[in-house]
Amino acid sequence: MAVFGHGQLRLYLLSLLEAGPRHGYELIRALSDRFGGTYRPSAGTVYPRLARLEEEGLVERAESGRKTLYALTDRGRAEVEAHRAELAALEHELADVVRELAAQVRAEVAGSMAGMRAEMAAAAQQARAAALQARDARATAPAGDVPRPGGPPAAGSRPGGPGADARREARARRAAIEADLAAFRAEVREAVRRAEASGGPTALTADTVRTVLASARAAIAATLPPR
């Protein structure tokens, strides 16, 4: 959906500079914060408009170390003052836009969560079916010929017997689960670390993590035997 109408981003950038000079990146982050992270303009959107404002004599640039600061000129301040009522109306419009964007994000997250829950439920169902099939096979197998999950029937020739095999396989599965959990944690932590460089993570990110983990815990619990 369109966030700013014609000329509105130009005016809003001027209003953000009214509080004092800012770097281009700070302006992008301020816009992202204003929308609660649901909208973040690209550098290719913001910098050309700043260049145009400079051409109009409304903004001036100043070097600050390796970065460029943008500040309002007297003409820029007069432009903001002349459009004060328009800016107030724009703030009301943006409040509605933020609510619409938040609703869209919530719907998308809910859809993603529903899909994930369905996939987890299907995996849990498959695990339960496999467990029942293995139990039935053990119940009907002749003595000394008990099938083992994922392998040929045991003939009692392996040291430790079927019980030892089952324990080894359980330990292997636990190790695989722990490795998957460690990889997931590392990936999420790295994504969050990268987001911090851009002013995130947002409250929506935190809510999504909590929702995903709650769904995962419920789905995993359904595959475990009762205590």
Q: Please report, for the domain that includes residue 70, its CATH number.
A: 1.10.10.10
- pLDDT tens by residue, 132-173: 677 767 666 665 555 555 555 544 445 556 677 888 888 878
- pLDDT tens by residue, 103-134: 766 666 666 666 666 666 566 666 666 776 77
The pLDDT score that the predictor gives to residue 53 is 94
The pLDDT score that the predictor gives to residue 92 is 76
- Residue 100 covered by a domain: no
Judge if 129 and 47 occupy the same domain: no
- pLDDT tens by residue, 176-195: 787 777 767 777 777 777 76
- Residue 30 covered by a domain: yes
Judge if 119 and 215 occupy the same domain: yes
Judge if 36 and 124 occupy the same domain: no
Judge if 127 and 69 occupy the same domain: no
Q: How far separated are the first and last CA of the chain, in Å rounded?
A: 50
Judge if 148 and 216 occupy the same domain: yes
- Residue 161 covered by a domain: yes
| Domain total of the chain | 2
Partners of 72 in the beta sheet?
A: 59
Judge if 75 and 119 occupy the same domain: no
Q: Is the pLDDT of residue 79 over 80?
A: yes
Q: Domain limits at 170? A: 111-221
The pLDDT score that the predictor gives to residue 122 is 60
Q: Which of 85, 107, 108, 105 is nearest to 97 (CA)?
A: 105
- pLDDT tens by residue, 7-56: 788 888 999 999 899 999 999 988 887 776 667 788 898 999 999 999 99
The pLDDT score that the predictor gives to residue 17 is 94
Which of 54-58, 86-90, 118-122, 197-201 is most confident?
54-58
- Residue 189 covered by a domain: yes
- Residue 35 covered by a domain: yes
